[in-house]
Structure 1
Amino acid sequence: MGKDKLRKFAEVSTFANVVQLEDGKSYQGKWASEFFKNDNPVILELACGKGEYTVNLAKQFPNINFLGIDYKGNRIWRGAKTALEEGITNVGFLRIQIETILEHFAAGEIAEIWITFPDPQPQESREKKRLTNPTFLTKYKLLLVENGIMHLKTDNDGFYAYTIEQIEALSLPKHKETIDLYKSDLVDEVLSIKTYYERKYLAENKNINYVQWSF
């Protein structure tokens, strides 16, 4: 591992807005009251990477709590450091494997879930790793409040088509959908937030897919 990654891993362990398994802390059922110290809704971003979406959502909605989840501490470091430097108190990060998400949240604790540009895991043998496969969807349903909203943004047409198939197979209500977000009438201040990867994909003239649904 490079020296820069080691430095970030060491530094992120000191950040008050980051929770890691090795901390031995559990906020299950108490994220708003004990971690954020308020009674505002909690929204997750899964596979948040550098946390760009998490941080920018927190800036737009100061009365909502945002929590980015990823396993790679050197990525989380960027978003967590930005939040600390800018004094953004309604954002935090949790370093876990998303497969274990039910161990860290209570049923009905989450208001919304965002999935932004995840690894599409295109190989058929890796379907179980896709963040919108039926196993993951079952977990999200347990975490969300009644009628809680799911969001997916992705440049990968295959992954988007797969997700739509899962949503329709479960007869879940879709509220918004497009295969080319920036040529649609859906773009607003929230959907126009761009991560590093999204800016890269747009520069390559890739279309951005988006779907919003609930359980």
Structure 2
Amino acid sequence: MARKKEKRFVLNQVLDNVLEEKKPLYDIIKGKWNELVFKKPNPLVLELGCGKGEYTVGLARIFPDFNFIGIDIKGDRIAVGAKTATDEGLTNVAFLRTKIHNLEDFFGANEVSEIWITFPDPQPLEGGIKRRLTNPRFLAMYRNVLIEGGTLHLKTDSEPFFDYSVESLKQMGVKNFISTKDLYNSEYNDRHHGIKTRFEEIFTAKGFKINYLATAFATQN
């Protein structure tokens, strides 16, 4: 396992679609993704905590006129998605290795069209709130980098985390969001485009229902 991880770290260093510390563009990419990475002025879509990039790559296959960026601190994971995209010739895919709380170091205001959060670690209520990807601090960052009316999507199997996320949005004054606690049997099922992460496959096989919400962030919600 250690050797496999080591090989993936080396792979990240040579793949052009991976940005990480000490590689070109890493320190200057803010506000310039379409100019320097994709070379096409398409809308930017982020997958936060992307793991192996199932959503990043899956969406890129379906929507060639959008540019997709998977973000995760785990280099051995993003290497899998980056290699898949490279092998398939997907030029609208990139990966950024960093922590989510550094998001505004890499994306300028109004630079992003959509954000996907897919099966994040729900984090415990006691001591873990500040690391929840839908706490007010993170939500404020998302609103800053999203364009006016940009969409935030959340998928999770954790109902307590989902309830917390809904309340966090309400506390921010966000009102125009849709939500369901049983995505596959809801009117919103087509919104996730049939893409499932590895964790989602595991959870649904065990009978867990999938919670989903989406909101279009605006100056006044």
Fold shared, TM-score > 0.5 on shorter chain: yes
- Secondary structure of the equivalent of 1:22? coil
- Secondary structure of the equivalent of 1:23? coil
Map residues 97-108 of structure 1 onto 2, 5 A cutoff. Answer: 97-108=99-110
* 1:35 CA displacement: 0.7
Aligned-partner Cα distance in 2 for 1:122–1:190: 26
Structure 2: state its 5+ residue gaps. none
Instruction: Check if 1:61 corresponds to 2:63.
Output: yes
Map residues 1-215 of structure 1 onto 2, 5 A cutoff. Answer: 2-25=2-25, 26-188=28-190, 190-215=192-217
Task: Give 1:12's aligned amino acid.
Answer: N
* 1:176 CA displacement: 2.0
- Secondary structure of the equivalent of 1:21? coil
Aligned-partner Cα distance in 2 for 1:170–1:11: 41
Structure 1: state its 5+ residue gaps. none
Q: Is the 8 A contact 1:57 1:190 kept in 2?
A: no
Deviations 1:103-127 (A, max 9, x none): 1111110001000001111242111
Identity %: 47
Task: Give 1:142's aligned amino acid.
Answer: N
- Secondary structure of the equivalent of 2:115? strand
Deviations 1:159-179 (A, max 9, x none): 101000101111213332100
* 1:16 CA displacement: 0.4
Task: Give 2:132's aligned amino acid.
Answer: R
Deviations 1:13-39 (A, max 9, x none): 110000002215221111012110011
- What number of residue pairs does the alignment pair up? 215
Find runs of 4+ consecutive structure 1 residues off by over 6 angstroms.
none
Deviations 1:36-67 (A, max 9, x none): 00111101000000000000100000000000
Aligned-partner Cα distance in 1 for 2:11–2:31: 27
Task: Give 1:121's aligned amino acid.
Answer: Q
Task: Give 2:16's aligned amino acid.
Answer: A
- Secondary structure of the equivalent of 2:14? coil
- Report the TM-score, using the length of structure 2 for normalisation: 0.94
- Report the TM-score, using the length of structure 1 for normalisation: 0.97
Aligned-partner Cα distance in 2 for 1:76–1:68: 8
Higher mean alpha-carbon deviation, 142-151 vs 21-30, is at 21-30
Q: Is the 8 A contact 1:44 1:113 kept in 2?
A: yes
- Secondary structure of the equivalent of 1:94? strand
Higher mean alpha-carbon deviation, 133-142 vs 174-183, is at 174-183
